[in-house]
Amino acid sequence: MADRGWDDDSDCHDAVQQAERATRFGWAAIAGTTGALGCALIALAAVSVVAVLACLYVVVAMDY
The DSSP letter of residue 12 is: G
Scanning 1-64, the segments in alpha helix (DSSP H) are 13-62
Length of the chain: 64
pLDDT in tens, 9-63: 777 888 889 999 999 999 999 999 999 999 999 999 999 999 999 999 999 998 7
Name 10's Cβ contacts closer than 8 Å, sequence gap at least 6.
Answer: 4
Is the pTM higher than 0.75?
no
pLDDT at 13: 86
Question: 46-64 in b/e burial notation, b at 16+ Cβ within 10 A?
Answer: eeeeeeeeeeeeeeeeeee
pLDDT at 4: 61
